[in-house]
Structure formats: C-alpha cells, structure tokens
C-alpha cells in the first residue's frame, strides 16, 4: 500500500537524519587526540622540517638557534639573517643559493620546497 510505503520512507529518513549524525559525533569523540603531522597546521610542520634540514645541512657552519656563535666563521648565525631580511627576501636569497649562485657558499642542492622550509624555520625564530 502507498500509505505504508510512505511511512517506511519517513522512518528511513528519520534513521538517516538522526542516527547518522550521532555516529559522526561518536566517531569524533572516540578519535584519539593526535599530534601526528597530518593533523597539525602545515606551517608548523614546515618549520619543523626546516629545522631538521638546517641542522643537517647548515648547522656545520651557521649558528641555528637564538644564542651562541656560528660553529664556523664567517658564517652568519641564522637569527642575524632573520634580523636583516624579510621572509620574502630571505626566500628569494635561498632560491639563488640553492641554485648554487653564491660567492662564498658551497652548492647546497636544496629543492625549492626545502628552501621554503628552511626559510619558514628562520622566520619562526623569535628574536630576543
Ligand atoms: C661550509 C659552510 C656553510 C654551510 C654548510 C652553509 N653555509 Fe651559508 N654561508 C656560509 C658562508 C661562509 C657565508 C658567507 C658569510 C655570511 O653571509 O654569513 C654564508 C652565507 C649564507 C647566507 C647569506 C647569503 C647572502 O649573501 O645573502 C645565507 C642565506 C645562507 N648562507 C644560508 C645557508 C643555508 C640555508 C644553509 C644550509 C642549507 C647554509 N647556508 C649552509 C657558509 C656555509
């Protein structure tokens, strides 16, 4: 009968409208609080990647942290570069350096993405 089918239809809609959102809420509530990179802001992850890269590739010469000298003179500590350059000018500088065009630096062979990450790290240095 049409009337019966109509009622089934209503109850199906009710199930979808009422139960489905409850399932979503339950799924969210039971999701573990995660600090995995997938859940964190991209900028934060870029800064971390940049720091790791800098430790690996730049820290032999440039001072990376907020204090202390560069391990190898005359390399400028990154925090001082931060002082002298805007984020954009630094990034442009990095791209030039990554291509191997800098008088005093070894060819770094960074990808554009790696240069961006290191720029993000340097930009994140809170100057004292
Ligand atoms: C073998 C030592 C060495 C390593 C490794 C090194 N640098 Fe340098 N870098 C120098 C020296 C020397 C200079 C020139 C003096 C100065 O400006 O600090 C320099 C200059 C720079 C400058 C300023 C250049 C300019 O004129 O604008 C930047 C930016 C820079 N380095 C970034 C980096 C980054 C990023 C890394 C790692 C990916 C790195 N360097 C690795 C030695 C090094």
How many whole angstroms separate alpha carbon 78 and alpha carbon 127?
11
Ligand 1 neighbour 76 (Cβ under 6 A) = yes
Which atom belonging to ligand 1 lies closest to the Cα atom of 118? 35
pTM, whole model, 2 decimals? 0.70
Confidence grade of residue 59 (pLDDT, cut at 50, 70, 90): very high
pLDDT tens sequence across 99-109: 776 667 777 77
For residues 12-44, one letter each, b for 16 or more C-beta atoms within 10 angstroms of the residue's C-beta and e for the rest, the string is eeeeeeeeeeeeeeeeeeeeeeeeeeeeeeeee
Distance (angstroms) between ligand 1 centre and the Cα of 78 equals 9
The CATH number given to 37-124 is 1.10.760.10
Contact 49, 117 (CB under 8 A): yes
Higher pLDDT, 3 or 68: 68
How many whole angstroms separate alpha carbon 88 and alpha carbon 21?
45
Distance (angstroms) between ligand 1 centre and the Cα of 124 equals 18
pLDDT tens sequence across 75-103: 889 988 888 777 778 778 877 777 776 66
Using CA positions, which residue lies closest to atom 6 of ligand 1?
A: 58
The pLDDT of 43-65, averaged and rounded, is 93
The pLDDT of 13-29, averaged and rounded, is 46
- What's the burial of 99, exposed, middle or buried (CB within 10 Å: 0-12/13-18/19+)? middle
């Amino acid at each position: 009968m049409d009337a019966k089918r109509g009622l089934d239809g209503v109850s199906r809609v009710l199930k979808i409208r009422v139960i489905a959102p409850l399932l979503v809420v339950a799924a969210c509530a039971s999701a573990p609080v995660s600090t995995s990179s997938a859940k964190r802001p991209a900028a934060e992850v870029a800064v971390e990647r940049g720091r790791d890269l800098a430790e690996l590739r730049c820290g032999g010469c440039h001072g990376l942290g907020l204090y202390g000298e560069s391990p190898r003179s005359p390399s400028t500590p990154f925090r001082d570069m931060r002082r002298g350059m805007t984020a954009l000018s630094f990034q442009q500088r990095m791209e030039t350096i990554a291509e191997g065009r800098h008088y005093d630096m070894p060819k770094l062979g960074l990808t554009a993405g790696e240069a961006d990450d290191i720029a993000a790290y340097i930009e994140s240095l809170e100057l004292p």
